[in-house]
Amino acid sequence: MADVADHCLKVTRPREDYMSLRINDEAPDFTAETTQGTINFHEWIGDGWTILFSHPKDFTPVCTTELGALAGLQSEFAKRNCKILGISVDGVSNHEQWSKDIESSQGHAVNYPLIGDPELKVVKAYDMLPADAGETSEGRTPMDNATARSVFIIGPDKKIKATLTYPMSTGRNFNEILRLVDSCQLTATKKVATPVNWNQGDDVIILPAVSNEEAKKTYPEGWKSPLPYIRIIPQPK
């Protein structure tokens, strides 16, 4: 049965604005049909965080493993007040059928919504496909959609906090994306940065923009300073 509602998708981003999205840009709003009904994106985000991620094609091997792995981590994202929203240029009915394969092969049910975007409106608005990619997913192969393996981390202010794009041949590490969410959430409220290979609970670095005088007031216990411009402290609560 055709996805009638797929043709009702609306994106509030003019065609001439289809260009690379950058960190701190407002995430384009849209209304779309998903496996869990119609959503208005900004309204759906609410006052929490969101992962918007795309995959090149339903019923393909790497994508099947990815969506299953993310389904297994959904509770961890939920602990961080972070919703998950998937998208591809396949229709909603395809997503629903494919979800059965994901659960049976990967051991996790896909309980987060998947957008059907057969008219390519959302993937173009998010620069996952070029503006001249056409107006329909009809006849498109996974290779045609190779650039559409992207991740956007979006904050409660509806602004993009981080982006990642992977090649079609490389599955994403969603534990790393979970770590990235942890870092984005911490640094959104504290004047710190997270160093290489940081994980939740590890030491962090005071931002260079924070003077020593201000840092002494906020962190009276002091800090470790292997170099004058590196000030290391325990992760703030």
Catalytically annotated residues? 63
- Here the tokens at position 68 are 């299953």
What interhelical angle do 61-72 and 174-189 show, nearest 10?
A: 50
CA distances from 106 to 68, 69, 100 (A): 5, 7, 10
CA distances from 223 to 108, 200, 220, 229, 234 (A): 44, 19, 9, 12, 8
